[in-house]
Chain A
Amino acid sequence: MSATRIEVKDLVVRYGDQVAVNGVSFTVGRGEHLTLLGPSGCGKTTTLRAIAGLEQPSAGSISIDGQVMYDGSKRRSVPTEQRGVSMVFQSYAVWPHMTVFDNVAYGLRVRKQGTDELKANVERALDLVQMRHLADRGASKLSGGQQQRVALARAIAFSPTVVLFDEPLSNLDAKLRAEMRVELRELQRRLGITSVYVTHDQEEALAISDRVIVMNVGVIEQIGTPEEIYNRPRSRFVADFVGSANLIKGRPVGDGSFAAEGGVTLKVSVVHKPTGGETEVAVRTAYIDLEARPGDNHVPGTVRQRLFHGDFVQYVIDSAVGPLIVRRPPTNLLDEGAAVTLSFSPDHAVLLEV
């Protein structure tokens, strides 16, 4: 068997005149945890639902384990229930008229599993999410976090090869979300499930994924590991949407140099094949030091504003290349009006594609 679980090719989904997904292609490897990240309306959920067969694409193809699930040119589509995927819904979709046990057993009953085996499998799934003690509880009497766990147990109970997650944590409060994030990652690793995860929360995407796909207005902006996405954003959109970045305007002058506004020349890293028409360089707010380090780009500036956030301090620095935002640990506070030297490595100044 090949290492590819899911292959999506040139997927297009239209709603009437609107194009929700406009030619998206990617693959998901066995056991990989892939996240579709983007703002609302970027087509990430539509893409996920198309993989599940809940959304009817207009063109392209989707295959799972080498089997064609959808092929626009041959007008073929396998109905949802025969695709063998599983899904956790944003609203959890825990059936209120059933007990926790019945919810989790649903997929097994559909598959006509014997009583003993079914019971063992349901209990195993409930154990994984620490919900076994509530097996007989009516599903309508559960808290949000508990419903979330039931939805998760239900999704993995029938041992699917692929689990799709549609913003499963977005309805939980911040603290519970952080906990569930850890648990989800743990579970995913332990079971070795292939998963596709949709979220608009960039922190969540970076924390739990093997690879991230950043989407915007129906197309893919960038595919890469969380580190690649963060350190080497390809476009202004990615730099802006994932983490926080300063954008410095100017033009490339060849050989890894960039003539920024204000007459400053910066050493930058060029990941893509440059066209010469680029106009922006992205520098992460966390990667700028306020003391000169050897080998870095150095830009003089003055502290205009200081905001104390607790976990970090945010400075707005007026510099030759324009106002820059810098986030530093909350130690050695600088006063407003202080003169500083901004210092950042050429590795962290990324020339953005046009």
Chain B
Amino acid sequence: MAESFLTDIVIEPTPAPAAAGVAPIMEVTHITKQFPGVLALDDVSVAFYPGEVHAIVGENGAGKSTLMKVLAGAYRPDEGQISLGGVPVTFNHPSEAQRAGISIIYQEFNLLPERTVMENIFLGREPHRFGIIDYGRLEADTHAVLQRLAADVDIDPTAQLGALSVAQQQVVEIAKAISFDAKVLIMDEPTAALASQEVAVLTDLVRRLQARGIAVIFISHRLVEVFELAQRVTVLKDGQKVATELTSDLTMGRVVELMVGRVLSEYFPERARPEDVGEVVLRLSGASNEALHDIDLELRAGEIVGVAGLQGSGRTALAQAIFGVAPFREGTMEIKGKADMLQSPAQAIRNRFGYVTEDRKYEGLTLKQPINDNIMLTLRSLQRKLSRAFRNGTDGDQAMALALAQRVDVRAPTMDREVRFLSGGNQQKVVLAKWLATNADVLIFDEPTRGIDVEAKASIHEHIRELARAGAAVLMISSELPEVIGMSDRIIVMWDGAIVGELPAGSSEAQIMHLATGQKTSDK
């Protein structure tokens, strides 16, 4: 699939960092950025040097993306100063930063798939006479830009962008960024969308940009690539800068320590005792689809299995595959001892599976419906007899909804209240009640406490444990490591669409991060 369109890639050894005494090309000092309820950046100062690759690392929510957007002029910092070549600057719009020589490539490309490569690269800057585009020159200019980037790059300026591979589209993005005469190039997770062979192409391009004196700043979750590409690395944690060091002075282990180094302070319910864990309810072996490969997994009654992994590691894909949203194509699935590969959510629900999705508002609830209708939604979909459908809104129906709401402690004045008016924590409890109504005994939680305040969080944790105690098999995905560690009886770690390791209850954040950043394939 990943055809190499850059012929004969020879990746040179990592270049040396900027020599002492070289002035930074861009510098931020004491940057603070506040969002409602979150201090996203707290007094961060970093300097970027010409011809150097600078990686920004940190856990999810550490403030990396916010820092990038401040650098690129998409956000204005509340406090602090940005300077370019020693001169203080203020950006009101990304285009101002772009004109000043700062280009950014976001994780989701901002390209037009229906248009040609050349129209994409020179959008808004097409060579023209009286408004009529000079297509000959446009093609020549595009060719020149691509050549300047890499002499052997083989992309037709007149090709439709959508017909190119993801890696080629990324080269187009980089060419577009460079065509602004960028001095600073910022890349947000540049390798996230690439297959491993295609990463070499990117590595090669980054080296070439570096050789031309461009400062490259990139966010990455993959520490291996950080060490391969960057000469300097800045670690962020909870909006603060922990360290900026030369990569040659660091080890991966040290970076992980800097990234996590926090104390487990939250309270979590007691874990399952060995005698509480029952038989295998769900068994997957060799299960694969487009996003996942070779998944072996067992879920047991009474047990909570935590899933850790970075964004894009396949955590949500696993949940969706089990629940039949994007089913497995190969391998086997056994439900309570019976081989049966689920092909649709309806089938999963009939087998008493429940799935609390990551996106509560759009996938978990019908926001403009009242609490009771939301709670009864899935149960009603199971009722096939017309006679039972007429029970909607009857006393028995209402009583059942009320009982479930009370069981999970939904706090609302009446059961008629539309769900959109509830707090995040209460909304999540309604989703929970919805699956209680169906008596689900295999429950998948994807980010069960995202965006929920501390008190409601503890209550959700208690309810999840309660469900496990009552005999449900629980699979819980979370990007918050303390949550995974605090809740799970077993932890599986995913990377690149596969399960790369299993850790016992109470493993450390560092152990998980080692696996989740792809440093080791297994700890066993």
Whether both chains belong to one complex is answered with no
| A interface residues (Cβ-Cβ under 8 A, vs B) | none
